Structure 1
Amino acid sequence: MSKHITREVWAAAGDFYKAAQPGDTVDEQIVNDFRDCVPPASMSSGYLQVGEAYDHMVDENGRWRPTFMTFAFKDGVWVYCGCCFHGEAVHRERI
């Protein structure tokens, strides 16, 4: 079940990764804060990947690739997509 992440929820958790899970909606101000902290890795209308790599994962071809915190604007709200490869909105998780 997804939840809505505000600055207050984030502050109470102490860490964005503890507060939010892929699929959670987030306040637009949070997206703007991430956009403004470093130049985005990828950005278009309704899509943002934070400019600093969060982790590196092996892709389906066996190559190590960086993952980026990703947000997408869907149905009038911003949704946290998780940590995704560049240009994607599919959460990648270590196994």
Structure 2
Amino acid sequence: MKTYANWKGDMDEYLQVGDEVDEEMADHFLNVMPPACWRSDIIQIGEPYSHVGGRATYATLRKDSGRWYYAGHCFRGEVTQAAGA
């Protein structure tokens, strides 16, 4: 499990798609700025990471069986990393 407390440096170097993250990391995604998407099963950081095909991608966490996982850089409301992100 990747923890917020152990995170140093660039998020993209620390987190890989599929990594389980702790609640503190989920809280960071939720509170760093107003989220782009926030539902019971998804949190996306409010600032776009990049644009693919003219659509913004966002750093995304998805919840499965009560645990949070890093999903990569996904389109708003989605939990599959965008091709080319």
Q: Structure 1 length normalisation: TM-score?
A: 0.81
**Contact 1:22–1:82 (Cα < 8 Å) also in 2:** yes
Structure 2 stretches of 5 or more lacking a match?
A: none
Counterpart selection for 2:68 from 73, 78, 90: 78
Q: Aligned equivalents of 2:71 and 2:26: distance in 1?
A: 12
Q: Aligned equivalents of 1:6 and 1:67: distance in 2?
A: 23
Note the C-alpha offset of 1:77.
1.0
**Contact 1:47–1:73 (Cα < 8 Å) also in 2:** yes
Is 1:45 matched with 2:40? yes
**Percent of residue pairs identical:** 36
Task: Report the count of equivalent residues.
Answer: 85
Note the C-alpha offset of 1:47.
1.2
Provide the aligned C-alpha RMSD in A: 1.5
Counterpart selection for 1:16 from 4, 11, 18: 11
> Max radius of gyration: which structure?
1
**Following superposition, which runs of at least 4 residues in structure 1 exceed 4 angstroms of deviation?**
none
Counterpart selection for 2:4 from 7, 25, 29: 7
Higher helix share: 1
**Contact 1:9–1:19 (Cα < 8 Å) also in 2:** no
Q: Structure 2 length normalisation: TM-score?
A: 0.90
